């Protein structure tokens, strides 16, 4: 979010909820309340009313359209405050939980909401249900969701509404199936042609402005943004996602995380489990300042084929579900692939950005060698990055590996980085291709390669 919420605006809400919980606890146990309790509750209710009139809940305007804001009534705000309370003030969570032992959650159930809000007759209870119907402003705008069935259905604030109102994420754990990627990169570290860099900057602009365009300009909501990075292995696709996360952190003033999806943790051979795992992952990302990165995405979003048996039918349904689920997700997702042709054409139409990552040319390779050879490492005069770039056509990832391996060899020998260290490191990279490599492919570096290599 661009502006932090003044959390003091909600102190009156949490104080009132705490008092209502205290009153309910006392009524259930037969404990007498002190003489000043009624006065404190009335005073707290007056403070809540004043704060609401002063615009304490106006931060929701960044998440829902203006017409929806106008439809919210006081009961809606009461419900939303109770749904937020366990995350806003963690000490309230066990107290709420103790009042509903039948529910395995600190989120308030319908039964407990009726009791806490003192809804005494059928008309008031009907109003509670009416404000939580699928077409109601709270639910249809994605501010709350209802879990389970019957009177013990719980009302949960969505991550997006919690982040908007509290100014922070309420879930500190990594999303299920993904791991955090440390971010230590900036635009200057990225070596790409200008068209590719421009497309990446456009993508970050989309991320920064998406919610503002929806809330302030009343644009029709759209998911994502969703980007596809295409290019050979080692061309910087994954690294670019790290750069964008760092850039968003810098320009927004908020911390943006980069999570990489571990496909092995969500893909399942059992019917329905892959979709279930993907839904849990994306639900956990809602409302977070986070980019989801999915490498080798053609394995996840492959082409649908002709149906010849039940397995083919299920595989096609699985891909279709993923397509629609990514489209609904309101957050940036970056998918990478070595071959664009492996991605189902139906997905390509739904990407907001498709960025090509070409193999580096000679100038780019020279820049990469200059950036990736440790700046403080001693080196001999024979190290010429221009000659290195012209001698062997390596990808950016291969140059990174070779530069680091050459540094390891030099450090182990307690000597400056020299031609023989570079030659051995490059030779090791070339031999990863599982083919017969000729010494002549090293160009001038062949003179430094030891005969035993």
Give me the CATH topology for the region 362-448: Helicase, Ruva Protein; domain 3 (1.10.8)
pLDDT for res 217: 81
Q: What is the pLDDT of residue 287?
A: 76
pLDDT value of position 434:
72
Query: Which of 333, 350, 340 is CA-nearest to residue 281?
Result: 333
Comma-separated ranges of CATH 3.40.50.300 domains in the chain: 178-356
Characterise 142 by phi-psi region: left (phi > 0), alpha (psi -120 to 50), beta (else). left
**How are beta strands 226-230 and 353-356 bridged, if at all?**
parallel
Q: What does DSSP assign to residue 357?
A: -
Please give the structure tokens belonging to residue 145: 């969701």
Q: Residue 230, exposed/middle/buried by CB under 10 A (0-12, 13-18, 19+)?
A: buried
* pLDDT reported for residue 304: 53
- Residue 3's pLDDT is 40
Give residue 281's pLDDT: 84
Q: Which fold has domain 178-356?
A: Rossmann fold (3.40.50)
- In the chain, CATH 1.10.8.60 sits at 362-448
As given in the structure block, the two tokens for residue 326 are: 């990514």
Distance, CA of 46 to CA of 12 (rounded, Å): 9
| Structure confidence at residue 326 (pLDDT) | 79
337 φ, ψ (degrees, to nearest 5): -150, 150
Alpha-carbon distance of 101 to 109, in angstroms, equals 11
**Confidence (pLDDT) at 182:** 83
Q: Which residues are CB-contacts of 434 (< 8 A; sequence separation ≥ 6)?
A: none
What pLDDT does 363 receive? 93
Contact 390, 413 (CB under 8 A): no
Whether the link from the prior residue into 225 is cis, omega within 30° of 0, is yes
CA dihedral 10, 16, 17, 18 (to 10 degrees): 110
pLDDT, position 9: 74
| Residue 266: per-residue pLDDT | 75
Model confidence pLDDT, tens digit, residues 390-412 = 888 889 999 999 999 999 999 99
pLDDT tens digits for range 106-141: 999 999 999 999 998 889 999 999 999 999 989 988
Give the pLDDT score at 308. 52
Contacts of 247 (CB under 8 A, 6+ apart): 186, 187, 204
Is the whole-model pTM more than 0.85?
A: no
**Cα 119 to Cα 33, 139, 198, 290, distances in angstroms:** 21, 21, 57, 40
Q: What is the largest CA-CA distance in the chain?
A: 94
Question: In sequence order, what are the residues at sequence separation of 6 or more whose Cβ sits closer than 8 angstroms to the Cβ of residue 197?
Answer: 187, 190
- Minimal CA–CA distance to 169: which of 259, 239, 233? 259
332 token code pair: 């940036």
In this structure, the strands spanning 154-157 and 144-147 are: antiparallel
pLDDT under 50: residue ranges of the chain: 1-8, 307, 309-310
Tokens of 30: 């037969």
How much is the pLDDT for 315? 58
């Amino acid at each position: 979010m661009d502006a932090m919420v003044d959390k003091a605006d909600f102190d009156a809400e949490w104080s009132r909820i705490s008092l209502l919980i205290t009153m309910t606890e006392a009524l259930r146990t037969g404990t007498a309340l002190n003489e000043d309790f009624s006065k404190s509750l009335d005073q707290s209710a007056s403070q809540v009313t004043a704060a609401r009139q002063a615009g304490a809940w106006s931060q929701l305007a960044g998440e829902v359209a203006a017409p929806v804001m106008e439809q919210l009534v006081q009961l809606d705000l009461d419900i939303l405050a109770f749904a937020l309370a366990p995350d806003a003030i963690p000490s309230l969570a066990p107290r709420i939980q103790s009042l509903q032992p039948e529910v395995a959650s600190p989120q308030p159930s319908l039964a407990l909401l009726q009791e806490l809000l003192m809804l005494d007759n059928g008309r008031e209870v009907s109003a509670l249900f009416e404000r939580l119907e699928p077409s109601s402003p709270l639910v249809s705008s994605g501010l709350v969701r209802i879990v389970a069935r019957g009177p013990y259905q719980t009302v949960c604030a969505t991550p997006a509404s919690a982040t908007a109102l509290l100014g922070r994420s309420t879930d500190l754990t990594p999303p299920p199936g993904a791991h955090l990627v440390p971010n230590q990169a900036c635009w200057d570290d990225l070596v790409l042609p200008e068209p590719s860099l421009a497309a990446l900057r456009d993508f970050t602009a989309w991320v920064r402005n998406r919610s503002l365009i929806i809330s302030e300009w009343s644009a029709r909501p759209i998911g994502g943004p969703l980007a596809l990075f295409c290019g050979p292995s080692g061309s910087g696709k994954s690294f670019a996602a790290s750069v964008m996360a760092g850039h968003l952190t810098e320009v927004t003033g908020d911390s943006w995380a980069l999570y990489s999806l571990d496909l092995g943790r969500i893909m399942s051979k059992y019917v329905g489990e892959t979709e279930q795992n993907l839904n849990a992952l994306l639900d956990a990302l809602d409302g977070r300042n986070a980019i989801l990165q999915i490498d080798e995405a053609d394995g996840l979003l492959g082409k649908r084929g002709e149906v010849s048996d039940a397995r083919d039918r299920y595989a096609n349904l699985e891909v279709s579900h993923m397509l629609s689920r990514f489209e609904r997700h309101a957050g940036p997702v970056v998918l990478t692939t070595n071959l664009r042709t492996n991605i189902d054409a139906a997905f390509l139409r739904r990407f907001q950005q498709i960025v090509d990552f070409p193999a580096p040319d000679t100038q780019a390779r020279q820049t990469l060698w200059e950036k990736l050879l440790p700046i403080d490492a001693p080196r001999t005069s024979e190290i010429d990055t221009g000659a290195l770039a012209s001698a062997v056509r390596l990808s950016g990832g291969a140059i990174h590996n070779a530069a680091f391996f050459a540094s390891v060899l030099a450090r182990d020998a307690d000597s400056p980085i020299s031609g023989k260290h570079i030659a051995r490191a490059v030779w090791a990279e070339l031999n990863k291709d599982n083919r017969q490599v000729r010494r002549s492919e090293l160009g001038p570096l062949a003179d430094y390669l030891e005969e035993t290599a």
